[in-house]
Structure formats: structure tokens, C-alpha cells
Amino acid sequence: MISKEKTKMALEKMYAMFPDAVGELEHQTPFQLLIAVILSAQATDVSVNKVTPHLFAAYPNAEQLANAPLETITEYIRTIGLYRNKAKNIKRCAQQIMEEFDGNVPETREELMRLAGVGRKTANVVLGDAFDTPAIAVDTHVERVSKRLRICKLDASVSEVEETLMRKVPKEDWVKMHHTMIFFGRYHCTARAPKCEVCPLLTMCQEGKDRMKAKQQKQR
């Protein structure tokens, strides 16, 4: 693995590439963010943003979503993967918020993870973006970039990736780092066709150097 100092150097280059990296799920309240993040599991932010404006116009808060017919919720989100299960989860989540938290989204990881459809990653996104609480949500982009740059071990689990990043990155930078690494992975260091030839981090990335070497040999 690379050192804490090299991790900092890598992140500084990512920050320079994507200085305005933010969460791309559209929302107006912590509740709407929570629902959007639940819907985004195994789906793209783009696909979620296509359905949530209509969903939130009809059911903007926990009380209204909790009382909405499941069939109607399902229709609103049917273009998203796993929509039937997600419809059940977001309705139950809204009911739990009404029953257990007086209609307010809880502000601790432990309480958030008691809600239907909410795992650690979802809870961390809500903590960071809704409540400005330092947290690192490890999605596929964060995991891929961390492993390609050897910030963490190649065989690290999601929780181990999170723990490694927490050790190597200052707490006050966790949310910024999370969004920047997502942008870097989503728009530059993509899964299938990373832009290695124009990457400022190529010298730090063994996988990228191997990829470029293979490409050059193929062209000969």
C-alpha cells in the first residue's frame, strides 16, 4: 500500500481535477436525500434523478410517503432496478421515521441503520451530506480507485477500505474526499475504460502503467 503522504498527494491531484465535486442526487431535505440514496443502490444517480422529482412532488415528507399506497410508490420508481423491493423499503423507512423519530431523519449512524433499506454506506452519505458529520461512504468508485492506487489492499473488504481511508485521510476531509473520489472514478478512472493516457496519477498507479504498457505492445 502507498503511504499516508502519497495518499495525500494523490488526493490533492484529484481535488485539482474535480474542485466542485458534490453529491449528484437531487433533494431539498434530509428526508429526500435519504430516500434518494436508498433508491440509488445498484442504480445510477441519473436514473434516480429522473424519478425523484415526481415522487417528491407527490410525497415530499415522511408522513406523506408513509401513508402513500405501495402500488402508487412502485409506479413512480418502476424504471429503477429492484424497484419493487425499494418501494417497500422507502415506505417502511418513512413509517419508521414517523413512529420512532417524530418525523425527523435521525442524525446518528446507529439510528439511521435501523431504518429499512439503510446500510452503512447509505447512512454515511446522509451523515455527510445532510448533517455535515464526517463520514466516508465506500461505493464502487471509491473502492475501485482506492485499490487501483493501492491506498488500500487489493483484497480489502468494503469495511476495510473505509477503515484504511479513515486512517490515512484527515477527518475534516472525509466528505470532500468521498465526493472527489466518486467523481474521479465516475468520470476519469472508470471501470472499463480508464483514461490512463491522460491521468496525472499514472506514475502512482501500477495497474495503469501495466495497462499502458500492454496497449503500446499491442500497437507495435
Amino acid identity of residue 64, one-letter, is Q
Asked about 139 being catalytic, the answer comes back as: yes
Cα–Cα distance measured from residue 130 to residue 125, given in angstroms and rounded to the nearest whole number: 8
Dihedral angle, C-alpha 158, 160, 164, 165, nearest 10 °: 20
Query: CA dist 3 to 24, 130, 161, 184, Å?
Result: 30, 31, 14, 20
What's the pLDDT band for 214 if we cut at 50, 70, 90?
confident
Residue from 86, 91, 121, 176 carrying the catalytic annotation: 121
Asked about 88 being catalytic, the answer comes back as: no
Cα–Cα distance measured from residue 45 to residue 39, given in angstroms and rounded to the nearest whole number: 9
Quickly list DSSP for 128-167: HHHH--------HHHHHHHHHTTSS-TT--HHHHHHHHHH
**Above 90 in pLDDT, residue 218?**
no
| Model confidence pLDDT, tens digit, residues 159-169 | 999 999 999 99
Angle, helix 120-131 to helix 158-168, in steps of 10 degrees: 40
Residue 132: CB partners within 8 Å, gap ≥ 6? Answer: 175
| Model confidence pLDDT, tens digit, residues 26-78 | 999 999 999 999 999 999 999 999 999 999 999 999 999 999 999 999 999 99
Q: What is the pLDDT of residue 219?
A: 79
Residue 121: half-sphere exposure toward Cβ, Cα within 13 Å = 20
The closest of 114, 182, 133, 168 to 30, measured between CA atoms, is: 133
Cα–Cα distance measured from residue 124 to residue 120, given in angstroms and rounded to the nearest whole number: 6
User: Is this prediction's pTM over 0.75?
Assistant: yes
Query: CA dist 79 to 76, 83, 121, 158, Å?
Result: 8, 7, 23, 28
Query: CA dist 103 to 37, 39, 52, Å?
Result: 18, 20, 19
Residue ranges in 18-119 assigned as alpha helix (H): 30-39, 45-58, 62-66, 70-76, 83-101, 109-112
What's the pLDDT band for 216 if we cut at 50, 70, 90?
confident
Residue from 86, 91, 129, 139 carrying the catalytic annotation: 139
3-state secondary structure of 23: coil
Q: What is the pLDDT of residue 21?
A: 96
Across residues 74-95, what is the average pLDDT? 97
Across residues 169-175, what is the average pLDDT? 97
- Four-residue CA torsion sign, 117, 120, 124, 125: negative
